[in-house]
Amino acid sequence: METQSPLNSERPTILAVDDTPDNLAFISGLLKDLYRVKVANNGEKALAIAGAETPPALILLDVMMPGMDGYEVCRRLKSNPDTAKIPVIFLTAKAEVADEQQGLSLGAVDYITKPISPPILMARVKTQLQLKASYDELQELLAFREDMTNMVVHDLRNPLSSILLLTEMLMTYDQMPPEKKEKNLKMILDNSHRLRLLIDDILIRGKLEAGKLALNRQSVDLIELCRGAVANIEDVAGRKNLELALTVPAQATLTISADPMLLRRALDNLLSNAIKFAPSGSQIQITVEDRTDDTAAIAVADNGPGVSAELRQRIFEKYEIGTLMKGVSQTGLGLAFCNLHSAGRCSIV
């Protein structure tokens, strides 16, 4: 049984448990305008409702009931992992207040004495629902942070492990052929560059979120900056048989006001992503455009799997790409960093 009201599905559900019909009607009448209300007149029904697929957000539980009393109901709720996190407020007569230590020790969050005061009931319910919402949000955040920490540590460990392994090989094999030695050194440099980029992204993003990131604006030749970034990854792209095609405006220079370090970091991240996702043998196009509205743009395009239209905004959120692109080691810090506007009249896409 439940009390219906408009938009019930969007409201928290309160389960009221009492063996007295008048008490249930009174509680339902107080709560129905703000909450979805379900009622039970005994402990067995209360446990069944609480253990349903959609459990209540809060339970108002009478202590003294025939058969299974409120203490036993609370004990069973707290012993069941599916219902243990539902906050329970005991409803108790004044003569039973001295026994409420038992109820609180079973896991109840509060108690309300009878006869029930409407303002006290409404205030206690609101407070406990707010606390529950905050607790749930914190638990989700902690779980998310743990997942992301594991992901970042994984991404840090991979290049570091490669660096250590290749360095040990170089130190162990004195007669290593020169071409193999050169290849190993290049791989060490590549992994060191990847590791530095990831660490820098984490540090810079942390400064940004703390409001401590200061831009160092300078006059930057955008064409020269892009040529340098492309030249820096040519060897990495070549090992995957990727062609880098850089298209720049006809003029010799294209000067903008920007923080060169941050702008270069954003471009490096875009190029790194393109190399990671582009299929072997394909082309990565880097285009620098001097627009007529006094802005400049850098575009990096590849033939990778891409992202659906509805998810394209999410990939620029921190850590999102790690959950969207399955099977690829990716934290999402790089694209989040690229979403920063680090240049005065330059956009990157």
- Encode pLDDT of 272-309 as tens digits: 888 888 999 999 999 999 887 778 889 999 988 776 66
Q: Is the pLDDT of residue 345 over 90?
A: no
Nearest Cα to Cα of residue 266 among 334, 343, 345:
334
Dihedral, 111, 113, 119, 123 alpha carbons, nearest 10: 0
Q: Residue 312 — pLDDT band, cuts 50, 70, 90? A: low
Residue 174: count of CB within 10 angstroms of its CB: 6
Per-residue pLDDT at 11 exceeds 50: yes
- pLDDT band, very low/low/confident/very high, at 315 (cuts 50, 70, 90): low
Model pLDDT for residues 193-210, shown as the tens digit of each residue: 778 877 877 777 677 667
Q: What is the pLDDT of residues 210-241, one digit of tens each?
A: 777 777 888 999 999 999 999 988 888 888 89
User: Nearest-CA neighbor of 237 among 263, 262, 268?
Assistant: 268
Across residues 250-279, what is the average pLDDT? Answer: 86
Give the mean pLDDT of 315-341: 52
Reference 32, options 55, 18, 11, 57; nearest CA is 11
DSSP-derived letter for residue 180 is H
**Residues 316-326 pLDDT 10s:** 565 555 544 54
CATH 1.10.287.130 fits 142-209, yes or no: yes
Token output for 61: 């539980």
Among 61-75, 89-103, 163-177, where is mean pLDDT lowest? 89-103
Quote the pLDDT of residue 131: 93
Q: Which two tokens stand for residue 262?
A: 């941050």
Question: So what CATH class is 2-116?
Answer: alpha beta
Report strand pairing: 2-3 vs 36-40.
Answer: antiparallel
The answer to whether residue 4 scores a pLDDT higher than 50 is: no
Closest by Cα among 100, 60, 103, 50 to 80: 50
For residue 164, the surrounding DSSP H or E stretch is helix 118-172
**According to the model, what pLDDT value does residue 157 have?**
79
Residues 256 and 330 sit within 8 Å (Cβ to Cβ): no
260 φ/ψ angles, rounded to the nearest 5 degrees = -60, -35
Q: One fold for both 2-116 and 142-209?
A: no
* Residues, the chain: 349
Q: Which of 55-64, 260-269, 313-322, 331-340 has the highest mean pLDDT?
A: 55-64
Collect all residues with Cβ–Cβ distance below 8 Å to 21 and sequence separation of at least 6. 41
Q: Which CATH superfamily is domain 218-348 in?
A: Histidine kinase-like ATPase, C-terminal domain (3.30.565.10)
Instruction: Give residues with Cβ within 8 angstroms of 348, minimum separation 6.
Output: 263, 266, 267, 270, 297, 298, 299, 300, 338
For the chain, give every domain's residue range: 2-116, 142-209, 218-348
pLDDT at 331: 47
The confidence score (pLDDT) of residue 50 equals 95
Of the pLDDT bands very low, low, confident and very high (cuts 50, 70, 90), residue 343 is very low
Residues 6 or more apart whose CB falls under 8 angstroms from that of 237 comprise 243, 244, 275, 284
**For the segment 95-136, what is each residue's pLDDT rounded down to a tens digit?**
666 667 787 888 899 989 889 999 999 999 999 999 999 998
This prediction's pTM? 0.55
> What was the pLDDT predicted at 148?
67
